[in-house]
Amino acid sequence: MEVRYDIAIIGSGPAGLSAAINSKIRNKNVIVFGSKDLSNKMLKAPVVNNYLGFPEATGEELKDSFQKHIDNLKIQIKP
């Protein structure tokens, strides 16, 4: 069976995931093309202090929060 998507997003970094979340909460069928590990650059960050709501989080903590959010919304990421 063929699956049709309303929106395809290239990139699984913070901007791509934000776009996917906003699309999903607006009842759009969305797919993200990117790394299932999300952003490697973010994972390597010892401290991320410029992300709203997460003062002084590590990159890994931020990535884990992103992962939980997209898992809860059942957002699909394809490599």
Would you state the pLDDT for residue 43? 84
Q: Which domain holds residue 66?
A: 7-78
In a domain, 34, yes or no: yes
Would you state the pLDDT for residue 38? 87
In a domain, 52, yes or no: yes
**C-beta of residue 25 within 8 angstroms of C-beta of residue 70:** no
What is the average pLDDT score of the chain? 93
Would you state the pLDDT for residue 42? 83
Nearest to 5 by CA among 27, 22, 34, 21: 27
Q: Tell me the CATH number at 13.
A: 3.50.50.60
Domain count, the chain: 1
Q: Is 78 helix (H, G, I), strand (E, B) or coil?
A: strand
In a domain, 38, yes or no: yes
What are the DSSP calls for 35-79, one per residue? -TT--HHHHT-S-B-SSTT-TTB-HHHHHHHHHHHHHHTT-EEE-
In a domain, 1, yes or no: no
In a domain, 2, yes or no: no
- Look up residue 11 and give its amino acid: G
Residues 9-39 have pLDDT tens digits of: 999 999 999 999 999 999 999 999 999 888 8
Residues 49-69 have pLDDT tens digits of: 888 888 889 999 999 999 999
